[in-house]
Structure formats: C-alpha cells, structure tokens
Amino acid sequence: MTAKPAYELLGLKAREYDDICARLGREPNYVELAIFSLMWSEHCGYKHSRPLLKGLPVGGDCILQGPGENAGIIDIGNGLAIAMKIESHNHPSAIEPFQGAATGIGGIVRDIFAMGARPIACLDPLHFGSLEKARQKFLLDGVVAGVAAYGNCMGIPTIGGEIHFEDAYEGNCLVNVMCVGQVEHDGILKASAHGEGNLIILFGSTTGRDGIGGASILASAEFDESAGEKRPTVQVGDPFTEKKLLEASLEMRDRGLLVGLQDLGAGGLSSSASEMASKGGSGIDMDIARVPLREAGMEPFEIMISESQERMLACVTPGNEAAALAVCAKWDLDATVIGKVTDTGRLRIFRGEEMIGDMPVAALVDEAPTYLVEPVRPRHEVDEPLAEDHYPPPEDPAAVLLKLLASPNICSRRWVYQQYDHMVQTNNALWPGGEAAVLRLKGRRDGVALVTDGNGRRCYLDPRRGARAVVAEAARNLSCTGARPVAITNCLNFGNPEKGGIYHQFKEAVEGMTEACEALETPVTGGNVSFYNESFGKAIYPNPVVGMLGVVDDVDRIARHGFAGDGDVILLLGSGRPAVDGSEYQLRIHGEVAGRIPDVDLELEKKLQALVREAIREGMIISVHDVSDGGLACCLAESAIEGGRGAVVELDDAGDGADGSGPRADIMLFGETPGLVVATVAGDDLERLRQMAGDVPLRVIGRTGGERLVIKSGGRELLSVPVSDAAASWENALEKMMQGT
C-alpha cells in the first residue's frame, strides 16, 4: 500500500500543496509544511466560510472593535466598553469532555484579556445526544465538570447558557463557550506586532506536546472509527496558571509596557506570531531554541504547532523588556524573549543561528485558499407547513404539559448551573434560570444583560428562517429583562462544508442571520465557525448559536418571568399562529421532526421588543416571559412555577387565522411561533399599556392567582394542573435523567 504524502497526513490537499510550493518558490520543509497545514486549515483559515461571512453587518455607532481581533469591543458609555467573544471546543470535548470543555473556557478567557479587558462572566451553550444513552450522560457530566473546574478556579462566574438534547448530536456534541469582560476605552489592547526592532516575549506555561495538530487534524475533519486516536490532540488546562497569566497581562497593560498582546490558542506559536505580524504589517524572526519546554527532545515543528495552554505572546519595546519580564517573575510565570519584529513581512524560524523556516506572513494569514461549493437543498426542507390535522389530538393535554415540562430541553437547568460559582464577583442582578443574565457594573446604575440562543432543530427544517428566529429570540430574551440589544457574537456549528447540502445550510443560515441583525440593529462583533461536525457521515443539525449583549439603563428596573402577585392581568403581546412544525411538542409527543417552521416578522418583532422595554422602564410590566419551547402552555407554567402561584387563562381570541378560526386546541397550547410574549400588569395600568402598544397586538388572556394553572377555550377547560405538580415535573427532571431514575 502506498504511503500517504506528508501534506495529506497534515490535512492539506494536493492543490494546496502545489500552491504552497508556488508561493515559496520551492518545496517546503517539514516545519514550514506543518505551519501551513495549520494556517490553511478550516479552523484557522476559514476556507469555506470567509466569502459568506463578509456579508454580515459588522458596523455600528457602539462598535469599537469588530471582527478581526481576539474579541469584539462594544462601547456602553461613560468611557467603559465590553469585550465579548464566543467560540467552539466541540471536537476536543467529544474526545475528552472534561479537558475539552475546560480548555475551551481557558481559550475564550484569554481572548478577552488579550484585548485588555477583565473577564466578568462566561456562558456555555451546550448540545448533546439523548440522555437515555450512557455515553451522553458521560459527556454532559464531563463537560459541566470541566466548565465548572476552570471557571470556578479563575473566579469568573458562569451566569448563563443553554442545553439542548437531540439525537443529531450523539456523535458530535457541541460545546460553545462565551466570555465577556469590561475595559476602559484607553485600556484596549490589540494583537499587533509592529515597530521594527521591538521584542516578542513568550510568557505563561511551558510548551509540551499536548494539543499538537488540534486545529488541523482534530477540528478540521469529520470523526470516524479513528476518533479515539485523536485524544492526544486535546489540550490540557491549568486554571491557576491562567489566573496568574490574566493578572500579569493586565498589570503590564496598566504599566504601559505592551505594544501588542496575543494569546496562543489554535495553531500555537505559528498562528499567534503570524497573526500578530499580519496585523502589524510586519515580519517576525523567532528563535525556538529559547522556548521553555516541558518535554525533552521536542522537534522544531512540534514546538511551533503545540497548543499547550496558558501561554501568551507580548510585543514590547526594547526599553520595556526588563519590566515586562519582572512582572512575569512576580506572578511566577516563565517568560522569555524569543524573537523580534522585522520589516521583512516574513515569519522566519531559527534554531539558534540556523534558519529552519522562512514564509511570507501574507501567504500564511491573508491568502489561505477559499472555496465556494454549489449549494444543494436537502430533501427534508419543504415549502409548506404540516396540516394541523397531521397528528391526532391528545386525549389528556394536562399530561402532555407535565411531560413537556419534564423533557430535557425544557426542564430546569439548576443541576447544571449550581455546579458553577455563578455568584463570584457579586455582580448578579438577575440569577441564572431567567430570560437572560443581568450584571451590575460596580459604581454605576447601568448594567449589561447577556444571553445565548440556538435551535438546530428549527434550522434543520429551514436554516434561513431558523437563523432569523435565533437572533430574534436572543434579542427578545434581553428585551424581556428590560435590556436594549446592541450586538452579537456568533458560533456557527455545521457539518462538512464540502458537501452541497451542508454548504446550503450554512449559506442560508448566514443570510438569515444577516437579515435579522440588520433589522434589529445588532451588528456582529466576531465569532467562530465550526465545521466538520460529523460522525460516520452523519452531520449535526445546522446550529448557528448567538451570544447577544444588551444594555440596561437601570439595574433596579429589570423584569423577571415569574408571576409576582394575585389578581394581575395576563396579556399576550405580539402575533403569530403557533405551529407544530419543529416544536418540542412534535418531537416529544409525536416522535418526529418535520414540516416548515413559522417565519418571524422582524418589523413587528422590533416594535414588540421596544414596547416591552418601555413598559418595563415605566414600571408597568410586573412579569414577562417569551413564548418559546413548549409553546404558550409551557410558558405560562414556567411563570407559575417561578412565581409560586397559578392562573386562570381564557384563549377564546387566541387565533388569528384568515377565516377567523384559531388553531386546534393542542397546537394553541403547545405549538410554537416566534414573536409572542406573555406579560402581567396591574389592572390600573392596562388601558395605558393598550395606548402605548400602538399596532402591536395585545390580548387579555387571564389573571394570576390560585394554586392551579387552568387554561380554557370557549368556556371549555383544556387543562387544569396544580402548580405544585408542574413544579415537581420541571424542577428535578434533569438530575433524575442523569441518575437514571
């Protein structure tokens, strides 16, 4: 059997190897080939996504830094800014869940303090297969433990996220991690190495063989029967060293010692040095003989592509090197001058006096090949929704409600977030478990709200509509706390982009996200694309996950979702005919994922959210909850559980069909559509809110109070459930699943 050529073993195609030879004017040596394989990998080079991502809206009055840096920066007023970024650590977590998740947190935290910002919170949107399978329980348990271990040790609260369980993620779990930090405008750093003669300092942990090939071999290929062999490509984290790294970096920033700062993530020294040189319009000469190693006998290419964690590169002027090294020594960190900035535009690698690599920076960073694939619409995407009589109506809607409340995608996530120290730093204004997390900014009245949202099942049925709905739901969640949505960061999780069906899903999702972000004025500050989430040829659901930031003018005027008092008027705000297509009801009760999801009316959505924010600001809205997974019945039940009180609801006028009739009772209860919100107000404020609503539909549907949730239609009782029974189904379901009970 003929042995594969070196470039193919490193994940490069034959035509890419020929292109590298042409750019160098010769054949590359192994060090150069290894570096190119990383920089031209999908993970680093964005070969299939770059052409489409250019269409995303990235500008705005509040955007101080958009895509292209370690994190986006958003101005929130009075000289303060928020840095935020979301990324994936899917493949490592599927191989080794604890370290995969832990180093995912470590990497995203470094992205934030590399911008000069102090991290203040993390969020973790997660997706797994069915918890009926032992492997998925193992993955969930390991990932949650990894997130907790790293975040808790760092003293950074994990304040939000989401978890979905679908069979489509059985072979490839999704572990996305988001971090936000705060920074004064004059403290913002960039990952730029410029100024000929300036020095490059490597500081933090020593360099070992962990993580070698993570970006090219692990993150840029599908899984098959060899997946277990990729375990050595998973990095190993050390949160205590990262905490010291954070403090040393911010101290060097405060002392004015830094020209530029970059973390070492995917691609290690190769990507960090070449990207710093690219952003600085410069070159870098690097001596790998000076790199502190934790293992003897490491080859030059291993040193260059190692993804050992907790390492940073700093660019400093020669006059500041001693002070920078002293700061690192103070924090007990290894630190060494390993290179200098040049005007050559080349990354040159030395081992002592011997030059062992010489590559154009532009070829490595800016000129990776891009590919356009002919989109092919998958057969399961249809143009018409299912008929409302496609499924038989349930005999007992109350039993359906209790089953949905106990389903893994709706039940309480307390088992997860109680493992996180979500109260550290004491900035919480709204705890996990609500519409979104809200943080105070010490010394100020204002604050920030944060949320992540994604729904691969809906995007599977219609990626454009699904992506539009994901952005709209994230903004709606923020608005339901009283926060004004201002910007997003995205993590786009898809299968193999070389396949026409997957490329179609990606293209449609990006375009749908663009439409929603433009309509809601929430520009994209950056993010991450994760392709090749496939096992044995079976792809995950297309899943564009959105992390969104909102600004709260007054943290003492925010809303919660629980019914807060007896006798309050319950309102349904917004418009949309619920449908079974893509709903939790369809999956859990009827065992199917089919049809076409309803579209979101972005203009009405914008008006609805503005109304909700104004009513919260004016003190009229007492509680508010958006209608999402499980439909209106689950929304009402969650508000009743949180508030510890029931309600009587009448849905006579819930339909808005062209013939004047509403949807079937079970679809009215459990169907899903974007653009609906349940709010409660005092009776005295009802007419005032009606006038404020303008052309936003507002319907009175009931009043709070009692110990049962009762939902009627036309005087006929559809369901009646004690709030205590609803709570019992919802509260401990996830823990019971993990225990097998």
Among residues 48, 89, 127, 422, the one annotated as catalytic is 89
At what angle are helices 463-479 and 602-617 packed, to 10 degrees?
10
Distance CA 714, CA 670 (A): 18
Indicate the pairing of strand 647-650 with strand 708-713.
parallel
> Do the beta carbons of residue 66 and residue 72 sit within 8 Å?
yes
Backbone angles phi, psi at 625, to 5 degrees: -150, 130
Residue 206 DSSP one-character state: P
Q: Which helix (H) or strand (E) holds 106?
A: helix 97-113
What is the maximum span of the chain, computed from C-alpha positions, in angstroms? 89
> Do the beta carbons of residue 174 and residue 543 sit within 8 Å?
yes
Count how many residues are written for the chain: 741
Distance CA 344, CA 719 (A): 74
Residue 680 is encoded by which pair of tokens? 């409660």
Among residues 43, 127, 422, 561, the one annotated as catalytic is 43
> Do the beta carbons of residue 586 and residue 436 sit within 8 Å?
no
- For residue 104, which of 191, 179, 205, 208 has the smallest C-alpha distance? 179
Distance CA 303, CA 287 (A): 11
| Contacts with 637 (C-beta within 8 Å, 6 or more apart), sequence order | 401, 405, 709, 721, 723, 726, 730
Indicate the pairing of strand 676-681 with strand 569-574.
antiparallel
- For residue 444, which of 158, 120, 124 has the smallest C-alpha distance? 120
- What does the DSSP assignment read for 334-385? EEEEEEEEESSSEEEEEETTEEEEEEEHHHHHT------------TT--SSP
Tell me, what amino acid is at 44? C
* C-alpha distances in Å from residue 12, one per residue of 20, 304, 532: 10, 18, 15
Distance CA 85, CA 450 (A): 12
Q: Is 89 a catalytic residue?
A: yes
- Where residue 30 falls (left for φ over 0; alpha for ψ -120 to 50; beta otherwise) is alpha
> Do the beta carbons of residue 296 and residue 251 sit within 8 Å?
no
Distance CA 443, CA 446 (A): 9
| 510 C-beta neighbours (distance < 10 Å), count | 24
Distance CA 5, CA 290 (A): 31
Rounded to the nearest 10°, the torsion over CA 475, 481, 482, 483 is: -50
Residue 388 DSSP one-character state: T
HSE-up (13 A, CA, CB side) for residue 483:
32
Distance CA 44, CA 52 (A): 16
Q: Is 164 a catalytic residue?
A: no
- How big is the chain by its Cα radius of gyration, in Å? 26
Distance CA 282, CA 262 (A): 15
> Do the beta carbons of residue 671 and residue 631 sit within 8 Å?
yes
Distance CA 195, CA 188 (A): 19
| Contacts with 396 (C-beta within 8 Å, 6 or more apart), sequence order | none
> Do the beta carbons of residue 431 and residue 453 sit within 8 Å?
no
Q: Which positions are annotated as active-site residues?
A: 43, 89
